[in-house]
Amino acid sequence: MVANLVKPIAENFWSDYNIRLEPWSMGYDAPVSINPEEIPASDRVNTEVEFGNGEWQPIRAAIAPELPNQILFIDGRLRLDASFLGRRDDEILYGAFATISVGAVLVDRTISRAKCVATEVTRIIALGGNLTPPVTSIPCPVSGRGDLKYDRCLTSTKNQPDTPSQLVQSEMLDEELRIANALSLNKELIKENTLVVRDGPLLYRVYQTPYDTMGYVKTMGKAYLKGDNAQVMRSLKVGERTPIFRISNTNGSNLSWYLRSGSKDLNYKKLGYHDLHGIIRIDLDGAIPLERAKAIADQSTYLIPQYASHPTRDPRAPQNLTPVGALEKELGRRMGSRELIARRLRGFLADSANFQPI
């Protein structure tokens, strides 16, 4: 009797719960990690921006729009080299040594050429409790070359276990913004009709560039669409987008849309993947006129699939863009060996703990 009750559950489990494969490696953050409790209650979504009657349907321009001559891809990587604890009276202080690397790839579509045009590495010490750490040089071992200098020192009035990582994350985003602004002023390098693509959400940061800047969000952490609108998003074919919607809160607003990236010869249904596979979100500054936003949105349906990565080369395909993937590898190389740096930091902290003043 018990066996008969259990059998239907076992047989229907995979279909009842719509369980599908996630092709991204476990070594990366999941592309879909929606936790309703993490969605700020202050976020307001207006889905009647592009179509006032609220009627939604997948969109792809019948005629290919004019595409930019150049695309400037901006990305950054961060790494916590070593976390540490401090103490102030009975208060535990949370800190970390970290490295960020930020760079850019410029794709000239007129001659089909891509080149890395900027890479910068910064070593950071982040510490909570409103206590600014000093600039610190980690001595070089006898067999090594050069000191390891952490000269960007950050602090916050907050003092939680995740305070150091939040400080480093914010600093990386500011560095990405600074590089985007600096490159946009280089008229010999950046020509007219250029699109700037920043890997990650815009987060309401002000981009002071004369060029259109989009935030490319390849991980889905918030469920901005509900009901029929969410179903339209899930039904998108490669190269199709949702209508534009507006996300607003006390920090500002963005114009956004979802599209499905990838290659038409790799059908997610045939591969057994879930229906959010290949779905990415694009952000624009909320102050951009709607007609211009619509033109950029139509461009994205043609451009993004062109630069989508392939699963034979990138474990985060198709969401990770090919130029960004190449830039990430170069940035990682310039950050140095994680194992060697961690070893030097452990030795430095051990020596500091054993130091006895005369």
Q: Residues 46-86: pLDDT tens digits?
A: 999 998 776 899 999 888 899 999 999 999 999 999 998 88
pLDDT in the model for residue 204: 63
Q: Taking Cα atoms as reference points, which of 66, 65, 173, 83 lies closest to residue 128? A: 83
Percent of the chain whose predicted confidence (pLDDT) is above 90: 53
CB burial class (10 A; 0-12, 13-18, 19+) of residue 302?
middle
Mean pLDDT of 41-47: 82
Between 9 and 17, whose confidence is greater? 17
Question: How many H-runs (helices) and E-runs (strands) does the chain carry?
Answer: 7, 12
Percent of the chain whose predicted confidence (pLDDT) is above 70: 83
pLDDT-derived band at 352, boundaries 50, 70, 90: confident
Terminal-residue alpha carbon distance, the chain = 80
Q: Taking Cα atoms as reference points, which of 220, 215, 307, 221 lies closest to residue 255? A: 215
pTM: 0.86
Q: Residues 221-267: pLDDT tens digits?
A: 788 999 999 999 999 999 999 999 999 988 889 999 999 999 888 87
Q: Residues 161-177: pLDDT tens digits?
A: 999 999 999 999 999 98
Q: Taking Cα atoms as reference points, which of 276, 238, 228, 229 lies closest to residue 256? A: 229
Enumerate long-range contacts of 305-310, CB under 8 Å, 24 or more apart. Answer: 305/238, 305/239, 305/261, 305/262, 305/263, 307/71, 307/107, 308/261, 308/262, 308/263, 308/278, 310/263, 310/266
Q: Amino acid identity of 59?
A: I
Mean pLDDT, the chain, rounded, equals 85
What's the token pair of residue 160? 């939680």
Q: Break the chain into its structural domains and give their ranges.
A: 27-341
**10 has pLDDT over 60:** no
* 250, 265 contact by CB (below 8 A): no
User: Which of the residue ranges 53-67, 110-124, 340-354 has the most confident prediction, judged by mean pLDDT?
Assistant: 110-124
* 96, 126 contact by CB (below 8 A): yes
